[in-house]
Amino acid sequence: MKLLLFTLIIFINFFSFAEKSEKINSQLRELAGELRCMVCQNQSLLDSDSELAKDLKNVIYKKLQEGESKKEIKDFLVKRYGEFILFRPLLNYANLMLWGSPIIFLLVIGLVAFRKIKIITKK
């Protein structure tokens, strides 16, 4: 009876560990896909095979095991490597021109097109 109970406890712990490990791996893949490799620069950490990418994936994995959130990990990496590590730049005052320029360009193009059409229709 004790052996059966011991075996049951071992299986429950094993499956619990496997489920937690799979959750961490899923979060790791998601985060690594959102972060840029600082060596390759056009690849995510997930796609890169560089040594730095491997080291960063290990750092992320350890931080996820320690229970840190994705935001905390991103903040840590941004402090360490700068905002360039993010594929999607943060929406803040420093990046206002980056986020606002497409809207400004569309408005200017629309205004120019409207004036051109207005001039053409007057003739």
* Residue 37 shares a structural domain with residue 56: yes
**In the chain, how many domains are there?**
2
State which residues form the domain around 116.
91-123
Could you please report the per-residue DSSP string of 65-108?
HTT--HHHHHHHHHHHH-GGGBSS---SGGGHHHHHHHHHHHHH
Mean pLDDT of 87-96: 74
Please tell me the distance from the alpha carbon of residue 19 to that of residue 91, in angstroms, as a whole number: 35
Contact 75, 31 (CB under 8 A): no
Check residues 123 and 75 and name the one with the higher pLDDT.
75
**With 70 as the cut, is the pLDDT of residue 14 above it?**
no
Is there a single domain that holds both residue 53 and residue 98? no
pLDDT score for 85: 87
The residue type at 84: F
- Are 35 and 24 spatial neighbours (Cβ–Cβ below 8 Å)? no
Shared domain check, 100 and 80: no
- Overall average pLDDT of the 14-27 stretch: 68
pLDDT at 95: 72
The whole-number pLDDT of residue 110 equals 92
